[in-house]
Structure 1
């Protein structure tokens, strides 16, 4: 009888632990990892993030498997220009994407010779030291600090000002949508590509990227603990995302 009770207690403990973990993941913070370089230099391949699920309220995409239990968006708070957000790719509503919000509903966005214009105003950028890719230490990439109209500052990369997405038509952000761009401007498929990403529906927002809690240089998977001492980027642990 005692043994049976012990097994039952263990099962209950495991079930409670799973429910608590699901609750935290659904309503508080969810971990994500960065698989591509579109947000370099802010985020590197191999970074692991905590995404705040409560920052913009909740939609069906806050729930496991995107269960359609929440109509529209509830407890909504508007994203700020400059936020780094995780969202479901509009063309399939399944794939997780991460970009920086540069355009809010009603904004007019355009790229001219590699420069960002918001509502016909040129966004300030300031040249800083070149970025040196981790995997190619002899390469130098032009790096700037960009200052958005609300004063938010972040680093961007521009390999040239004549790339495929450096001259665009004017985009008018529809109501209930946002315009996201990668910080690695010449290597990012983002809202500038209407057929690829396009405008981000409010409902598709998953959350705001808040904390970079772990990072490896790609030579070790998250579970390969024995490789961590040589693979961890120690200067990126538990860092805020700006």
Structure 2
């Protein structure tokens, strides 16, 4: 059941959350607010992420990264790692192929995506990358360029990133867009958890309590 909290309770909760975020942002963590629906259903507009800036070890397929747009616009974005340097990536009829092999995606029913101008009923499936990392993605259509791409070969030092909301994400499929191949040096950090979540559709401040301190898969 959705719960609407009094304004004072909302402000106190936000104050605590932001105090924690601001207190650590100059060290190993930083806050990041999700502005759009490109990562639905894993991340929703209004989610406040805690991002780990401790970038130890190599990047891994399936992890969610926050990064600066390679265009130099200053925009900060969030997507999921699909391809590592040297990997080949392609989509055919909406299905992901990695190094020539189709990535399994198990049907998980339907999902009503309310992150855009109006509700959209999408198919939801659980995609599982080599190595075992699984996460849900949304699909509405199987046609068009974004679902039938050329083969991308990820250059050395770069990453290939996709949004989980596959038909509502401007990502590495669009090489002339704000993402394209993402240099590893532009990565700000790894998404760790949803600290607090607001419902941007509500009139006034409304929290999504069930998403507090939710680990990012």
Fold conserved between structures, TM > 0.5: yes
CA drift at 1:23: 7.9
CA drift at 1:137: 9.2
Confirm or deny that 1:49 pairs with 2:46: no
Unaligned runs of 5+ in 2: 1-20
SS in 2 for 1:50: strand
SS in 2 for 1:77: coil
Tell me the equivalent position of 1:63.
Answer: none
CA distance in structure 2 between the partners assigned to 1:22 and 1:31 by the alignment: 7
CA distance in structure 2 between the partners assigned to 1:195 and 1:133 by the alignment: 27
CA distance in structure 2 between the partners assigned to 1:119 and 1:133 by the alignment: 30
Is the 8 Å Cα contact of residues 157 and 183 (structure 1) preserved in structure 2? Answer: yes
Confirm or deny that 1:241 pairs with 2:216: yes
Tell me the equivalent position of 1:102.
Answer: 82
CA drift at 1:138: 6.8
SS in 2 for 1:235: helix
More helix by share: 1
SS in 2 for 1:26: coil
Is the 8 Å Cα contact of residues 83 and 208 (structure 1) preserved in structure 2? Answer: yes
CA distance in structure 2 between the partners assigned to 1:93 and 1:192 by the alignment: 19
Confirm or deny that 1:165 pairs with 2:140: no
SS in 2 for 1:161: coil
- The aligned runs of 1:68-217 (5 Å cut-off) are 76-92=56-72, 94-134=74-114, 139-196=120-177, 197-217=179-199
Name which of 193, 207, 214 aligns with 1:232.
207
Kindly tell me the number of residue pairs found equivalent between the two proteins: 196
CA-atom RMSD, angstroms?
Answer: 2.2
Is the 8 Å Cα contact of residues 130 and 143 (structure 1) preserved in structure 2? Answer: yes
TM-score, structure 1 as length reference:
0.76
TM-score, structure 2 as length reference:
0.84
- Cα displacement string for residues 90-125 of structure 1 (whole angstroms, at most 9, x for unaligned residues): 011621010000000100001111010000010000
Is the 8 Å Cα contact of residues 39 and 184 (structure 1) preserved in structure 2? Answer: yes
CA drift at 1:26: 3.1
CA distance in structure 2 between the partners assigned to 1:46 and 1:120 by the alignment: 36
Runs ≥4 residues deviating over 4 A: 134-139
CA distance in structure 1 between the partners assigned to 2:47 and 2:22 by the alignment: 22
Is the 8 Å Cα contact of residues 22 and 31 (structure 2) preserved in structure 1? Answer: no
Larger relative contact order (Cα-Cα within 8 Å, sequence gap ≥ 6): 2
